A and B are shown apart, each in its own frame.
Chain A
Amino acid sequence: MPSHKIDPTKWVDQYSDYLFNYTIARVNDRDMAQDLISETFLAGLKSMKNFKGEASERTWLISILKRKIIDHYRKSNSKKGKAEVHINYKDEESEGDWLEERVADPFDKTAEDSIQNEELGEAIYRCLGKLPEKQSRIFRMKTIENIDTEVICNEFGITPSNFWVIIHRARTAMASCLQKNWF
């Protein structure tokens, strides 16, 4: 079994976006997600010795992050009082109607669509993580950070035609990866 190496100096560049999207789909709060990610990295750093190299770094970090998210919800739950269920009827007339009638229509797909959308960011960054490092960095800079072609070319010391070839390969790979996992 190939053993995976661990290198904390690259964590932020390689995984922070993926972890961030993973978290934001679950806690729905930017600042909270930031905190959880930095806690995850710190916890990872502390328990680096325990990393056996059986799973990839990303899987390992995600498993830490999952615990952190669960802890976050435990904490916020213990702060609250006991759970109460309030049912507000819209008007006098509907009082006493069957609760089942108030459940969302299962054929109404909007709820599912929005869940899928929240996981979209995760899927994109997972695919981006699979690209070779240079490709993914250039693609990210161009597509997500909207940096000019010229600036990127200068930074990497490549010609524009070289740049477009890299972009083309990255786009093809991204499209087929997302096709498998998403569309």
Chain B
Amino acid sequence: MKVKVACHEANHICDKNQYKEASFWEKVKLNFHLIYCRACRKYSANNNKLSKVIKSPKVQSVTTNEKNALKERLAREMSQ
């Protein structure tokens, strides 16, 4: 098994890791890659930041139910 991975693969692992879908071995490969690759370190840092920011409780979203209710109301109004 080789530990070294190419940048595009490292980025792919990093993306997966944002959703906790990277395996242990993939994480080892990613972290090893990050040791020597400056560009990917930057990408990783930004990516982690993005995940953190989206998870912050200040980011609210409209639930699907609420959206459907809104849509219905609009549709009713449009048909009149």
Contact = CB atoms under 8 A, between A and B. Distances in A.
B60 A21 contact: yes
Contact of A11 (B15, B46, B54, B74): B74
B60 A120 contact: no
A6 to B, nearest CB: 12
A121 B67 CA distance: 17
Contacts of B11: 168
B70 A175 contact: no
Given A168-B11, A178-B50, A20 B71 contact: no
B33 to A, nearest CB: 16
B18 interface: yes
A167 to B, nearest CB: 6
B19 interface: yes
Residue among B11, B47, B62, B70 having the largest count of chain A Cβ atoms under 10 Å: B62
Contact of A12 (B12, B16, B46, B71): B71
Contact of A41 (B18, B19, B74): B74
Contacts of A11: 74
A30 B49 CA distance: 26
B78 A175 contact: no
Interface in A2-32: 8-9, 11-13, 16-17, 20-21, 24, 30
Contact of B74 (A42, A118, A164, A168): A42
B18 A171 contact: yes
A175 B50 CA distance: 6
Given A24-B60, A121-B60, A142-B19, A41 B70 contact: yes
16 contacts: A16-B70, A20-B61, A37-B70, A41-B73, A41-B74, A118-B58, A120-B58, A121-B58, A124-B53, A124-B59, A144-B61, A145-B61, A168-B12, A171-B15, A175-B49, A179-B46
Interface of A: 8-9, 11-13, 16-17, 20-21, 24, 30, 34, 37-38, 41-42, 45, 117-118, 120-121, 124, 142-145, 149, 164, 167-168, 171-172, 174-175, 178-179, 182-183
